[in-house]
Chain A
Amino acid sequence: MVYWLSPSFSSKGVYELAKKTALFICRCGTNIASVVDIEELVDRFSKREDLVVVEDLHLCGDEGLRKIEEVLRNQEVDRVVVAGCTDRLHGELFKSVVERAGLNPGFLKIANIREQCSWVHWMDSERATEKAASLIEMALEAVEHSSETRKAKVPVVRRVLVIGGGVAGITAATNLADAGFEVYLVEKSGFIGGHMAKWDKLFPTFDCSMCILGPLMSELAHKPNVKILALSEVVEVWGSPGNYFARIRVKPRYVDEEKCDGCDRCLDVCPVEVPDEYNYGIGFRKAIVKPFPEAIPIAPYIDMENCIGCQSCVGICEPQAISFEQREMEIVERFGAIIVATGYKPFDPTPLAEYGYGRYANVITAPELERLIHPGGPTEGVLARPSDGRVPKSVCFIQCVGSRSDRPVSRPYCSRVCCTYAMKEAMQIKMSWPDTQVYIIYIDLRAFGKGHEELYRKAAEAGIVFIRGGVEVQEIPESKNLLLRVEDTLSGRVLEIEAELVVLSVGIDHNPDNEQLASVLRIPLDENGFFSEAHPKLRPSDTVRKGIFVAGTCQGPKDINDTVAHAGLAALRCAAFLSEPEVEVELLSPTYDPSQCHKCLLCVRSCDFQAISYQEGKIAVDDLACAGCGACVSVCPTGALELPYINDAEVFAALEAALKNRNERPLVVGFLCNWCGYAAADNAGVKRIPYPTNIRIIKVPCTARINPLFILKAFSLGADGVAVIGCYENDCHYRGGFRKAKSMVNSVKKLLEAIGLDERRLLIESVSASEGEKFAKLISDFIAQLAELGPLGSELGGGGDERSV
């Protein structure tokens, strides 16, 4: 009854005698070749008559790609294996070249001999070469059984969802609207404009921020094909590229946007005053809120938490726009593509107690200073220091606060904007209050953008004192001035500066909402919490998911110039993607054979996406709604469901190949989910963190794809251990996938115990994509533990004969 063991699956069918498999081995410059003995691999595989073996310096380069195409066109080849870097990097590229050569891309497999071999086993060339050979053999066996990629043409929805209404989102939305697409701009707060709307003047040219942003916002609001949804959040996204579905939660505004004419008289009559979070708690706002006159939407919103229900606003409102009846609602809409533009959060310096932020009244952050010197800010542009409202006679900027630091509460990267904004703010102070002495205490001054160096020069000429050094801050209790002690590292002198105001140049921190959104969109974050781009140089606005793009600082620190450029690229990439009337999508859905189905409906229950349904006595698979996790296939007891893009037979074939030569003990099979487990293994590679060679990794889309029989098969073939590594339960890219895998693994553990095997041979763990260190440690520890347990079967008293299982 175990049908996959039937001999038909171990042959290549009708092509067997006629066709060969092409094996391309990439040296990746010296990245692979300096560790893995490429000549040895070529030698070894060239002996096989069913293979055409080709090696190259850089398969991903133009030359390399041409070589692949040529071989595929001119040789009798029907299967392809590329041994090189992770398929998460160039998988799509190689697929496209295979397709161009006339082969179905489903017949391509990639053996990852870089991230998961040469980059982690650099200390032992010999074993790395053996492992590379083994990985290639696994791919060769698997590709024999691989199925055609199924594609379908679906009409493209010419509507784009832009998430985030800062300058990035506004730019992207404007560009797309101009190109004729319909755009939904979803903004979490009450108004669009983002951080940029808060700044007074912009570096390096001192142009007024609102003067350039205001018209842009108003123009956008008037476009007929743009819908701005403020106080809104995207809570769920499903579907496929060109055809996404999004559920958007819209909070009540209590002011009818259609009726409101933006007279703002309600703001005058509201009697409530609460600290104004828009100004970082400086000054007060009303319970009916509109932080600046140019705000879009022009209608204010009512903050119900603080509203006392006095109805003063209702009384004054001529168009009768106030509407307390509004309720929260949800919109579900279809979108062809999505642009993420959720921006950043200024770094919170409170945990860096040595600067005294939050403890010393006259220590403020640069964004707070912006509000203080903004004519529309809480002090109407007067630089009033918090303790007594006086204009300070001396101001010290401290750079790199929260940036470039390995301390647990800080961020390791350079935030790119602080040097220049500090110089800009310093000059603004100097221009308005020439008697105020301004110091900038920096570590390295990075003025690298167009016009930035010139600004540096102007600042020096204006008499801003630049001090290269580190600093400690203490409050002088009586005056509330700050005593700064600085080493001017260039002279080696320790200076004491009594400053009346200290400005912390805080960096760009990731938006804390990113984590939630990443899991909604199923796109990865980097180790600092920003969204990962598909390629740092070539595809900086793309993500790993087709039809989802990133714009602006949600991808990493940027100034406004770079943000706008990045957002423009995202819009262009988006428009290009949507320019075809139909999009060809790779179907990740299972095939269904009704003749084998017993209608147990386990599959229907296992699906988190309502993609399998049971209607009128029939099982129906919705190809577009399916996310491709494979949970249904693993629970199907009869084999009626099969997942063509990673079918059971290819996994079994890979297992056979992996465990054929067990010259390494203990030997472990790892089933790693594409999003976190496999990505973390790649991350360990990128960071060159070594771990033992004794593991053979099989990539699955989700740990829920793992059929319990995969694990049992691995043990029956003599694996000493099996590791199942997926996402953290709450980060699962297929909602409940990891949870399902966990319960499956627990059942298998019981089964192992029942037949006398130590359940510790089966490991299930979570990692995130950036936890290369954790992954490497996990594997090292697991292998060490297995070494202690002895070879498989030791616990049965059979002296470790794996065949006794």
Chain B
Amino acid sequence: MPNRYPGIELATRIVMKNLGIELVDMEGASCCPAPGAFGPADLFTWRVLGARNLSIAEKKGVDVLTVCNGCYKTLYEVNQDLKSDPELRERVNEVLRPLGYEYNGTIRVRHIAEYLHRDYGVEKLRGAVKKPLEGIKVAVHYGCHLMRPKLRRELGDSERPHLLEDIIEATGAECVEYKDMMICCGAGGGVRSYDLALSLTLTHTKIKNATEAGADCMVNVCPFCHLQLDRGQAELKEQWGVYYGLPILHYSQLLGLAMGIPPKMLGFEAHYVPVDSFLEKLKGII
């Protein structure tokens, strides 16, 4: 659970509680650490730190659930690498043991979207929706690391997936196709901090295309994408003088609205792009 956008954390906690799913905190966890920013520094250290986080969950005997594509990539892939490579696992454990940790490969790592789609079930999800968001047009943003690389996931095709559409459509909202919809938000791989202008160029492409396709909002499943798409719009306004004002929602927030949770409990205040007009649109529904 990343530090950015505490509203996403809050929305997730409330939504999962209402769905009857208990979340257990991983006390003392560190950053996953972020695959695109930290992996490039040193892959082995990245794995060791990922393994430490996994072993915290192992100690508690619970699977890991992430609301972030980056956390998912790190924890899922480290988990997989260590499960399949006993030699690597031993090297990692050699470092962890003195600190009282050991990775044993006993748990699974899932993304909240995957969990809701595969484990909880789209039908059941539809049943939990109290206020179907009919008439709302959603531009879907997958982010890169949920589905990719597909050969290291079991989530199917990554060129034109349907996982998010399924769980978004369960809320009653409609998904709109837009040009270049699978393009990166622009933030990943450390590009946001290294070359903000380039990263905003990608963001601009995305937001512009989605707006032109008539989307009321863009839904993501990753706080880092969320930041780039949300704050990026403020930056575009500031630096380029272009502004689209497309509200950005994490899936937990969208689902929260559809479940009838009051907007003020979903942390929208923290957004750079105000969601007021969007909520206005929902007036008749929620």
Contact = CB atoms under 8 A, between A and B. Distances in A.
Interface string B159-180: 1100000000000000001111
Given A354-B159, A359-B160, A477 B180 contact: no
Contacts of A359: 160
Contacts of B160: 353, 356, 359
Interface in A349-369: 353-354, 356, 359
Nearest to A354: B159
A476 B179 contact: yes
A477 B151 CA distance: 29
Interface string B212-247: 010000000000000000000000000000000000
Contact of B180 (A353, A408, A474): A474
B177 A477 contact: yes
Contacts of A307: none
Nearest to B161: A353
B159 A477 contact: no
B63 interface: no
A619 interface: no
A408 B160 CA distance: 18
A480 to B, nearest CB: 12
Contacts of A483: 179
A477 B157 contact: no
Contact of B179 (A354, A408, A477): A477
A353 B182 CA distance: 13
Interface residues of B, number: 9
A353 B159 contact: yes
A356 B151 CA distance: 19
Central interface residue in A359, A408, A476, A477, by most chain B CB within 10 Å: A477
A476 B178 CA distance: 8
A134 to B, nearest CB: 34
Contact of A353 (B157, B177, B178, B179): B157
Nearest to B182: A474
Contacts of A354: 159
Nearest to A485: B180
Interface string B136-160: 0000000000000001000001011
A483 B177 CA distance: 15
Nearest to A473: B159
B214 to A, nearest CB: 11
A707 B180 CA distance: 65
Interface string A467-506: 0000000101100000100000000000000000000000
Interface in A75-94: none
A372 B213 CA distance: 33
Interface string A449-480: 00000000000000000000000001011000
B240 to A, nearest CB: 21
Most buried by A among B177, B179, B213: B179
Contacts of B177: 477
Nearest to B176: A477
A353 B178 CA distance: 17
A359 B213 CA distance: 19
A463 B177 CA distance: 35
Contacts of A353: 157, 159-160
Interface in B59-104: none
A175 B270 CA distance: 82
Contacts of B180: 474
B225 to A, nearest CB: 20
Interface string A79-119: 00000000000000000000000000000000000000000
Interface string A323-363: 00000000000000000000000000000011010010000
A476 B180 CA distance: 9
A353 B147 CA distance: 14
B174 to A, nearest CB: 14
Contacts of B159: 353-354
B182 to A, nearest CB: 9
Nearest to B181: A474
Contact of B213 (A356, A474, A477): A477
A359 B179 CA distance: 14
Contact of A474 (B151, B157, B179): B179
Contact of B178 (A356, A408, A477): A477
A356 B177 CA distance: 14
A474 B159 CA distance: 11
A477 B157 CA distance: 21
A476 B157 CA distance: 21
Interface string A278-299: 0000000000000000000000
A703 B178 CA distance: 59
Contacts of B157: 353
A658 to B, nearest CB: 35
Nearest to B183: A474
Contacts of A476: 179
Contacts of A408: 151
Interface in B32-56: none
A551 B157 CA distance: 38
A148 B83 CA distance: 57
Contacts of A477: 177-179, 213
Nearest to A407: B151
Contacts of B151: 408
Nearest to B209: A477
B203 to A, nearest CB: 18
Contacts of B213: 477
A354 B157 CA distance: 10
A466 to B, nearest CB: 26
A26 B179 CA distance: 65
A477 B213 CA distance: 9
Contacts of B178: 477
Nearest to B180: A474
A237 to B, nearest CB: 40
Interface in A149-200: none
A189 to B, nearest CB: 32
A475 to B, nearest CB: 8
A356 B160 CA distance: 9
A483 B159 CA distance: 15
B153 to A, nearest CB: 14
A497 to B, nearest CB: 15
Contacts of A474: 179-180
Interface string B172-213: 000001111000000000000000000000000000000001
A474 B205 CA distance: 14
A356 B179 CA distance: 13
Contacts of B179: 474, 476-477, 483
A676 B179 CA distance: 51
A359 B177 CA distance: 12
Interface in B9-44: none
Nearest to A476: B179
Contacts of A356: 160
Nearest to A483: B179
A474 B179 CA distance: 7
A408 B157 CA distance: 13
A433 B82 CA distance: 59
Nearest to B177: A477
A502 to B, nearest CB: 15
A470 to B, nearest CB: 15
Nearest to B158: A353
A245 B160 CA distance: 51
A498 to B, nearest CB: 12
A410 to B, nearest CB: 13
A356 B180 CA distance: 13
A286 to B, nearest CB: 36
Given A353-B160, A408-B151, 13 more contacts: A353-B157, A353-B159, A354-B159, A356-B160, A359-B160, A474-B179, A474-B180, A476-B179, A477-B177, A477-B178, A477-B179, A477-B213, A483-B179
12 contacts: A353-B157, A353-B159, A353-B160, A354-B159, A356-B160, A359-B160, A408-B151, A474-B179, A474-B180, A476-B179, A477-B178, A477-B179
Q: What are the nearest 7 A-B pairs in CB distance?
A: A353-B159, A354-B159, A353-B157, A477-B177, A353-B160, A474-B180, A476-B179
